[in-house]
Structure 1
């Protein structure tokens, strides 16, 4: 009886955590030292702090932000990195922070013209979005869909490569992400309802002249994009899909997270039962249960039609690469899969910017040949 009760409690907590948008992201990386003269910071060694590349560092409970560059020294006591800039806050006084794949905080950091627009949604007022026009007016657009527990700046890293290819970028917000209107229950549906907001963004883009649209999804944004690609009313406007560290099958991800939390393996299965049953809403606060079969694109692989570029790191740490590999194997006719070795979760651009950019630019050049509606001479 006690075991059953404990199982129920753990599964309920896990389920509620997954569908509840977090109000804050905790600092998880201790600061060992800051040298203002040398322009360096030394962090406790972690999988992320030891990763080469350029990253954001939010510190002191989000009251400060810096950009970190190359690793200068590493030992068992700390990882010393170059401080590229301190945008706000007192880095010298920081005791903890968290590394992020974000590098740009807003479109103004890119030095490009942009417009703040509003995309009408069916859950209330419009959702804010950034529109960054192509250098030369074009009917080719990319819609960037960020992941869970983050917001629009996540997709800014991909704007330059798309702009170089002649694309206008639309970086959207969606229900319950902290920027867009909340749904009635204020809960994530893991893509099962959020796709409607991407569909609304497609309509908005079309109203501004878009005729060929690429959808790009990051992490949970990948799950949202896949739902859009199979449920949209505007498939004729879509040219392809780019996914970065995507959720392909939520069952795979929930099980992986259960192991990471050192929970018994069956807890994840029970948590999915809670999220997938109407009675589970009493625990999670969901108004409608989640249809996990509809979110499994390994099982639904044959329903996909659009050319797809899939980028994922083998050591992701949050979303296992197994779903991406399975989808790429099953649908090698439409999926171009590019694995990274040690780039972690949604940090592929940060780890190897030239490879990230060249992979996308090459795929975009070849996209007309991959389109199911195109013809070859």
Structure 2
């Protein structure tokens, strides 16, 4: 029989506590507070493009290569257009995240595909939460392909938070995507997790960034194992693969959910076709509400840089 000394018991207990905390944070990373996928048999959206912006729309559905079905709304442009904007929402959200942008998109003459990422809204899923932007990027690629099938010749993927990261990774995977707009995006989930613990430590007067970095690596590694994510790439590592297509990075200077350093990291990995606009006074994913006309003008400038239709 093996007996543990008091010191060994304390060490084993400490390791167990660390593993439990890492597991809980891993769960929170993929299933943020309030996350729950609704029952598709009983759930309907209270808000639609018609009720929110007075715009006609049609229900659409399409599949990803693994067979799951994605569902959303297609809002056609007022006049025939070859540009389609595909929106990718953030953690724990759904297609409605971009309803407030619809009027702006419509004024800019683009059709818009707003859909639920897997495990969200009415798209297929089992309430597993997010896939660290990798699964969501696959959804973005499938959505872009659907827009191509419908005849749109220039596709922009437009995401916020996790959706912005997924938009970047999608464009890196799919060279037929013509441009990316990413707001409040997570450069890497390791850094995102590390930021949280680093801020807590500094709040207690402890400056140990290496501990935070190690914690970020641990939680993300555990998350990948837990959700069975074999292939993983961060948005910052995907950035160089998008060139020379245009990328617009947006970030609020008062975003305390995803720190502005993430935007700077993304820009540093890009080329001369990447532009960055720090939105003064904006928080997390509320750049349009804060900047209004300036935001619309910036997006209009970006759309003008898209390569000609093929």
TM-score, length-scaled by structure 1? 0.68
Change (3 A) 1:301 1:194: closer
Change (3 A) 1:327 1:121: closer
Structure 2 unaligned runs (5+)?
Answer: 1-10, 37-45, 203-207
Superposed, 1:329-344 pairs within 5 Å as 329-344=268-283
Q: 2:189–2:216: 8 Å Cα contact kept in structure 1?
A: no
CA–CA separation in structure 2 for the residues paired with 1:182 and 1:199: 18
Counting matched residue pairs gives: 282
Aligned counterpart, 1:270 = 215
SS of 1:193 mapped into structure 2: helix
Aligned counterpart, 2:240 = 302
Aligned counterpart, 1:197 = 139
- Higher share of residues assigned helix: 2
Aligned counterpart, 2:149 = 207
Change (3 A) 1:23 1:124: farther
Deviation at 1:300, TM superposition (A): 4.5
2:77 is aligned with 1:152: no
Which of 62, 71, 82 is residue 128 of structure 1 equivalent to?
71
Aligned counterpart, 1:15 = 26
Q: In terms of mean alpha carbon deviation, does 251-260 or 191-200 score higher?
A: 251-260
Q: 1:162–1:168: 8 Å Cα contact kept in structure 2?
A: yes
Deviations 1:317-363 (A, max 9, x none): 11111121233245350111110122110011112212211211122
TM-score, length-scaled by structure 2? 0.81
CA–CA separation in structure 2 for the residues paired with 1:169 and 1:243: 16
Q: 2:118–2:136: 8 Å Cα contact kept in structure 1?
A: yes
2:291 is aligned with 1:348: no
Superposed, 1:138-287 pairs within 5 Å as 138-182=81-125, 186-232=128-174, 235-236=175-176, 238-260=177-199, 266=211, 269-270=214-215, 272-276=217-221, 281=225, 285-287=226-228
2:51 is aligned with 1:113: no
Q: 2:136–2:166: 8 Å Cα contact kept in structure 1?
A: yes
Aligned counterpart, 2:3 = none
